[in-house]
Amino acid sequence: MSPPKAPDPSRRSERSRQAILDATHELLFDIGYPKLTIEAIAAKAGVGKQTIYRWWPSKGAVMFDSLLAHQREEGGALPDTGDVEADLKLVLRATVAQFNDPVLDGMTRALAVEIQNDPSLGREMVDRLLGPQLEATKDRIRSAQRAGQIAEDLDLSVVVEMIFAPLFHRWMLRTAPLTPEYADSVVEMALGGLRPAACRAG
């Protein structure tokens, strides 16, 4: 008859929620996502398994919330020194550093994996994690357009992907090591294009 009876969020135990998120984060750090189990989270958090199953649909969802809860509030705007090339290189070098950090590497891979199995998780990730960063980058690009450094007639969604995707690709498929120099190359090539051109040196 009734849809399987949804729990009442107003009665949710904040204490348990926090304990679960903390335990998950710690376990991700200690043993990594593939070895992470609901049972281990429950045990470490001092929580019944049912409490996890009551509020999250999957292991991936718990991990995602845990990631959100524990990331520092970095979502600021990009630097704007007036030199778009330098600013983008700075950002991409930072991204390279993140990918090379063992902990972040593990968690980000886990997240990427889980998105493959659970598209709804992917949507949320795009909205809450990736989206804001891409938006900030778009803002910086727009600023550069006003400064005449970037062409006007471009689809900014494609632009930001042109910039970030190569890093993601190399990291995810491990085709080659991710270095700061690679970040620089990507920025330069994206800005200048592949064609031979007198004005490339700008």
Partner DNA sequence: GCTTAAACGAGACGGTACGTCCAGTCTTACT
Partner DNA sequence: AGTAAGACTGGACGTACCGTCTCGTTTAAGC
Residues that bind a copy of itself (CB under 8 A): 34, 109-110, 112-113, 115-117, 119, 122-123, 125-126, 130, 134, 141, 148-152, 154-155, 157-159, 161-162, 164-166, 168-170, 172-176, 182, 185-186, 189-200, 202
**Environment class of residue 185 by beta-carbon count within 10 Å: exposed (0-12), middle (13-18) or buried (19+)?**
middle
How far apart CA 157 and CA 135 sit, in angstroms, is 9
Amino acid found at 54: R
Residue from 23, 47, 84, 178 binding DNA (CB under 7 A): 47
Q: Are 26 and 67 in contact (CB under 8 A)?
A: no
Task: Give whichever of 25 and 170 is closer to a copy of itself, judged by the CB atom.
Answer: 170
Q: Note whether 22 binds DNA by CB under 7 A.
A: no
Residue from 1, 2, 3, 8 binding DNA (CB under 7 A): 8
- Taking each helix axis from N to C end, the angle separating 59-70 and 14-31, rounded to the nearest 10 degrees, works out to 90
DSSP label of 83: -
Look-up of token digits 């809860």: 69
The number of beta carbons lying within 10 Å of the beta carbon of residue 75 is: 13
Could you tell me the smallest distance in angstroms from the CB atom of residue 160 to a copy of itself?
10
Task: Give whichever of 44 and 138 is closer to DNA, judged by the CB atom.
Answer: 44
Per CB under 7 A, residues contacting DNA are: 7-8, 10-13, 15-17, 19, 35, 37-40, 45-51, 53-55, 58-59
